[in-house]
Amino acid sequence: MSILEGSNLAVATKTAFIFPGQGSQKVGMLAELAEQFSSVEATFAEASEAVGFDLWQIAQTGEGLNQTEFTQPVLLTASIALWRVWLELGGVTPKYLAGHSLGEYSALVAAGSLSLADAVKLVNLRGKLMQDAVPQGQGAMAAILGLDDAKVVELCQQASAEGKGSVEAANYNAQGQVVVAGSTAHVEAVMALAKENGAKAIALPVSVPSHCSLMKPAAEKFAEALEQTNIVMPNIPVIQNVNAEAAKDVNALRQALTAQLYQSVQWTKTLQYLQDQGVGFVAECGPGNVLSNLAKRLPNIEKALPLDTKSRMEDALNTILVAEGKIA
């Protein structure tokens, strides 16, 4: 696209778009919408040309879909395809954008900060570096449900003190839902401690322990690629994972993307920030509805709407256009 991704005249006053991260992928994603909107496959073709392999085939067949280096560009492309369909149908430009982990890159493309071609190359590299940073089987992640943030941090510190290695809070997803990441033995130790404290602990089916200090070697290499990539300030504010704030300049934006690899995703604070800014409507621009389900927990979010099927897209368009006063 020659125009900025986020350029649309009807700017929203109480709508935010949120973009999902790894784990939201599913075989056959966007197939239904692709039958009606040629821009879906055109977006995948554009991204595939940039990375040199067929992202649409991976998305539709599932072959390689759960390999991090492929998952990340496929998901980003799916999110941007949905974003383009939204604009094609006359959807309003949101007041804010935010993305969970990988989804932050999707948000930056939608905001015109990164080109789609540059973004898919970056996240393909990001996935490779993350996979290479920790040998297979030596890292893990788990969701801890039913404890407050401080207690989870305390259990991580307790487990880390008991031997070589570490485990940290990786994703603050919602009140009572924190994902931990680190060396496999230490993640398992936190799971056991959590259960002793009456919580649920669920091992996540991932091969990479994201958003913890084990990713620092990957971050150092990734920073070099970011420096060589053309990035401009977003034309829609993008709320960053590491601090739940919008970047003040491009240098701060690059630093936050680097730090995001080894620091916690502050998603609870991000959603709270959006709510505090008067956002009442949230659209999840990517496969599935994981993030919209989290957003529904907030008292002032009136509607949280996924966009990944024709009926969901139509529902979100009508609901948000009415809410924003664009149609009666």
Q: Which positions are catalytic?
A: 101, 211
Q: List strand residue ranges (DSSP E) for 101-193, in order.
A: 139-145, 167-174, 177-183
CB atoms within 10 A of CB 120: 26
Q: Could you give the CA distance from residue 238 to residue 252 in angstroms, rounded to a whole number?
A: 12
3-state secondary structure of 246: strand
- The answer to whether the CB of 222 falls within 8 A of the CB of 174 is no
Q: Could you give the CA distance from residue 274 to residue 188 in angstroms, rounded to a whole number?
A: 34
Q: List strand residue ranges (DSSP E) for the chain, in order.
A: 15-19, 96-99, 139-145, 167-174, 177-183, 200-203, 238-239, 281-284, 303-306
C-alpha 212: how far from chain center: 16
- The answer to whether the CB of 234 falls within 8 A of the CB of 108 is yes
